[in-house]
Amino acid sequence: MSPDTALLTPRKIALREDLRLVADMIMPGSRVLDLGCGDGELLSFLVHHKDVDGRGMELSQGGVNACVRNGLSVIQGDADNDLRDYPTQAFDYVVLSQTLQATRHPHEVLRHLVRIGRHAIVSFPNFGHWRMRLRLLTEGRMPRTPVLPHHWYDTPNIHLCTILDFVDLCDEEAITVERNVTLDEQGRAYRLDPRGRLANLLAAQGLFMLAGKENSH
């Protein structure tokens, strides 16, 4: 399924590359919940350029305050503890960018995502990327790459996975992969089968749009 060209973000509007890909998946006028919204870059874009009814959740108080100062509806909270309060199917899209690997219970978080939203959009770094494998093999140390730059002792990423790991988990949780994009280290998108070994080796990040089996078509 190729993206509807009417949804694509005009290049002239500045938006981080991976957020642009997320924004392109979102229909104008929809209700969006952005979990781990940071300083509100994606939400702000969606609200101002796609007429979205946007809400956010962010762990860092500084991030929350910055968002609210800019007129965004954001609450302080974390994906592990605060998702159960959201009602079922309350949003068209729930977005979790680059955060799944930092949650304590990623499988529970995923369940909540597809419960709360008709679609869930999830992005995460791929631990199976060839550079990670090569570094571990040749250096014998936990790999540090531009996508995963932290030292092993102060990284927030406690549940790293590969593209294949993620796809397997979706199968186990009866979650349908509706769309997927694999990204290289420069954030360029490739259309590769996520169940294939090529995607698992070449993708620095994975970006998936998911739905619970009852919701998917």
Partner 1 sequence: MTAFAPPPTLAGQPRIDATQAAAEATDRPGFRLTVAEPLPLDSGAALSPYAIAYQTYGKLNADRSNAILICHALTGDQYVAEPHPITGKPGWWDILVGPGKVLDTERYFLICANVLGGCMGSSGPSEIDPATGKPWDLTFPVITIADMVRAQKRLVDHLGIEQLFCVIGGSMGGMQVLQWASAYPDRVFAAVPIATAARHSAQNIAFHEVGRQAIMADANWCNGNYIERGVRPARGLAVARMAAHITYLSEPALHRKFGRNLQNRAAISFGFDADFQVENYLRHQGISFVERFDANSYLYITRACDYFDLAAEHGGVLANAFRATKTRFCSISFTSDWLYPTAENRQIVHALNAAAANVSFVEVETDKGHDAFLLDEPEFHATLRGFLAGCAEHRGLSR
Nearest to 150 by CA among 187, 79, 199, 101: 101
By rule CB under 8 A, what string of x and - marks binding of each residue 66-105 to partner 1? Answer: -xxxxxxxxxxx----x--xxx--x---------------
Q: Which residue has the tokens 């994009």?
A: 181
Handedness of CA 20, 24, 28, 32 (dihedral sign): negative
Could you tell me where the beta strands, DSSP code E, fall in the chain? 31-35, 53-58, 73-76, 91-97, 117-125, 175-183, 189-190, 205-212
In the complex, the smallest distance separating the C-beta of residue 30 from partner 1, rounded to whole angstroms, is: 14
The answer to whether 176 contacts partner 1 (rule: CB under 8 A) is: no
Residue closer to partner 1 (CB basis): 100 or 116: 116
Check: CB of residue 112 under 8 Å from CB of residue 86.
yes
Q: Count residues contacting partner 1 (CB under 8 A)?
A: 20
Of 90 and 177, CB closest to partner 1: 90
Q: Least distance (Å) from partner 1 to the CB of residue 92?
A: 13
Q: Are 182 and 189 spatial neighbours (Cβ–Cβ below 8 Å)? A: yes
Nearer to partner 1, 68 or 164 (CB): 68
Q: Tell which positions 35-64 bind partner 1, by CB under 8 A.
A: 55, 61, 64
Which positions lie near partner 1, rule CB under 8 A? 55, 61, 64-65, 67-77, 82, 85-87, 90
